[in-house]
Amino acid sequence: MTSNLKDSIHAQSVAEIIEFISQFPETAIFRGENNIYDTLKPKVGRLFDNYCNKSALQNFESSFESFETSIIDDFVRYCEPYLENVSVEDEVKVLTIGQHYGLPTRLLDWTENILVAIYFAIEGNNESDRRIYIYDTKRIIGIEEVFSDKLTLIHKYYPPIIHKRIISQSSLFTVYRYPYIDMREHVKDGKDQIFAEIQIPYKNVVGIRGELSKLGINGKSIWPDIDGVVKYIEWFFSEKYTELKQ
């Protein structure tokens, strides 16, 4: 990271977050997490860590590839009837759809919209601090390179618009060759990258959630479907009746 850039803050408001990110290029991307994990990995990497005994694996890399392939194969097998207008032979498009429904994949979700990242960081009722990651690199790959074994560094991947959530969430992904390794290790090894973090203390979550709603960022705007409407109604009435109890 360039020496004159701050690399972390503890934020109390949306305005403070906006001010902090103004130091970064317009190409910077953001990731909000409402659970602070020990590692920054794609979901398939975290799952592999949880269920595989690394010390017992003779060939760690090939074991991971087999693990990942089995997940994708099962997803295609059970979901093919629902994959309208998408060929099951198009592995990356299938992967993108699965990612948006929570499938463990090598894709790590990011957004170009800081307000969307804030929403994902402060959603949920778990009584814990929240985090937003900020990242930038000039390396961008196309759809045909997502599974390439030549991805020694982190790349941005802009998926095809195959779901309206990709638009509403300004979605993109990061991809790198070894999804079971903490992304921050790749940042240390690579050049021409920016990486920073924003911590949101739990005590500030409710206030920031209210600020976002006033800006039109809520379940309805993030998920433009029935899921989003339900999330919004649940939040709205829980907030309303919390106020009445006070």
- Same domain for 59 and 176, yes or no, is yes
Distances (CA, A) of 46 to 93, 157, 165, 179, 245: 22, 20, 24, 9, 40
Q: What is the pTM of this model?
A: 0.85
Per-chain mean pLDDT for the chain: 86
195 closest CA partner among 244, 246, 131? 131
Confidence label for 88 from pLDDT (cuts 50, 70 and 90): confident
User: pLDDT of 52-79, one tens digit each?
Assistant: 766 555 566 778 888 899 999 999 999 9
Q: Residue 3: what pLDDT?
A: 47
Q: Determine, yes or no, domain membership for 198.
A: yes
Structural domain boundaries enclosing 62: 8-204
- Same domain for 196 and 238, yes or no, is no
146 closest CA partner among 75, 87, 96? 96
How many distinct structural domains can be found in the chain?
2
- Same domain for 223 and 190, yes or no, is no
Q: Determine, yes or no, domain membership for 1.
A: no
For 53-202, strand residue ranges (E) read 108-111, 130-137, 140-141, 155-157, 171-175, 193-200
Q: Determine, yes or no, domain membership for 210.
A: no
SS3 215: coil
- Same domain for 39 and 60, yes or no, is yes
Q: Determine, yes or no, domain membership for 211.
A: no
106 closest CA partner among 78, 142, 144, 68? 68
